[in-house]
Structure 1
Amino acid sequence: MLRLIAAQRIGPRIWLSARIAAIGLWMAPLVLASLILALCWAGVDARAAWPELAAAAALSLAYLGLWLALAFLVLAAWPSAAGAVGSLVALWAALAIGVPLAADAYARTRYPMPSATALVDAQRRGNDAIAAQRDAIAAAAFARRSDLIGASDRVGSLDYATRMTFLAPELERRLSRLEAQRQAARDGRAQASAFAAYLSPPLGLQSALAQLAGTDAQRHRRFETQVRDYQQRLRDWFYPRIQRQIAAPTPRPAQSRGRQNFGEYDAIPAWAGREPGSEARLRAVLPALLWLALLAAALSFWALRRLRHWPMED
């Protein structure tokens, strides 16, 4: 068979390139059709999310092109059928399983994170210590405040909500070192995962699609940061008003358990979450798309350089 092919006026590069291209021509529409069918089945509004859908299609085609280029490179060595299949399976296992496992092991070793048990134990110990020192903590806070130093005799009679305005920040301060260690480990592991996504195309494709869908870990962390900022804004707004009642309490109306003196509802800080728009998500996945395309082009070029001569038959 090879003698018959070699007798034609065609080189090995054109012959094998045409075979790989033929495979790609029928696989690309199949991949796109499967993608569209899955999204329609999930109820995606294509008109509202067409930029993300177009980017997802481009990523899928680039990923397909990468594996076709890998197959092209393997076949350029003219292996047997069993050898070609074995090589491709080994490459898939290394890229899809080996690289992520190695990256995870490196990240866990390089960036150790406090265990959940250690975090719970530290918080429990902190709560116990704060409860035992609650009056001393409040008294120290009173001594630092010119508007409260004259009300030091009321430390022991503070209600629970007012007392917590002094104890909650103190507990967070005592746990701040452990929290900083946890955040540093999360940052380091996120960087390791981002680097591994460039070494493992399956992992890179998954990360890019998650960014397009808005289910990536980075978005979750941005939300956590915004929630924490909002919590601090609420504290900065409510705590002074609550603590102001210690030194100058508003008289309670007769037959009432509350003071009923709060009327600043419109002034309470409102939640203003910020979400990246479609353009930001597209920019975020552009490096992954370019990287997959570049790898496919480089592997194809390497395969073409190896295809200089027809194989010799035994």
Structure 2
Amino acid sequence: MVRVKSKTSVLAAALLVSVTALAAQTIYYQASGVSKFRYFKNNDGLNVAEKSIQNYDVVQDWGSDSGLYLVDSLLTRQEYTNADGINGTIKWTVRGGNNFSTPLYTKSETATDFGFSDVGSYMLTSLDGCCAAMAGYRLYDVPTGKLIISFNDFTNSEVVRHPFALEVPNSKLGYRFLGVISGDSTRDLDFQTPAQGMANALLLKYASKTQFFQRLQVDMVAKPGWAISVLDAQFEADPSAPNSDKIEFRNGIATMWNIDGATDANAIQGVQLRLVLNAGDDDKTVIIPIVNDRLNLDKAQIPEGVSIKSIPF
């Protein structure tokens, strides 16, 4: 004789499995938030589409004893529908410790986007602007909240995940970051007075996760009525350095196989920054090599009409 289970008994068995599975769960930590949208006219008569996005992201820090961090973020972004322009703010809280039991810090700033790096336990905020302004990015260390570096993107990436970066494979030497900031940036334009007869062109910032190394200012002569344009900014191999042909370049990251496994930071060399600027006359090409883990002005190629100086940070 063949027995056929009734629908009632099958449903009861399924419910029993579901309840048993639910009872077996252990909730270590939980949180909830609300995302919102509104469309309104502000006091200036501009129509504003505003959205607030609540998000939770878990970040793995392979170099930390704690390992996991929870980033609780709220991004509020306002876009105008009858004018150019965008505004926004970001607020984030980071938790760590056993099962995210410890609140570590809370930060907030003006920003229009928020994301995470692909080169370590870092997060980025960005501030878009109007017209030809370049979005200003900031790279933060998730475990500590420390601002590592600010930069503009010159790689034409669809999604920006990092500034220019140097990576030494099979080494405990951490990433080196190079931030290039143009005079068109939406933020962090901490220029000093330009050289006589010149205008501010670029800021160059060089840092690691633990230390800020250098800040350089690039000035140049601009033709009357002309603004300075950065036509190109990229890493390339320094042909004067040994084995620089082994370096791999990908999306603004230089993987330095020429010093594979290095333990001394002074070994960091073989990459140079190439800049092409224009201010109404001929293009000006600037080349600054990285030697002994520093941007080396003594060996730099600086054309007439361009000045580079080290400034305090």
TM exceeding 0.5: no
Per residue, is there more strand in 1 or in 2?
A: 2
TM-score by length of structure 2 reads 0.20
**Larger gyration radius, structure 1 or structure 2:** 1
**TM-score when normalising by structure 1:** 0.20
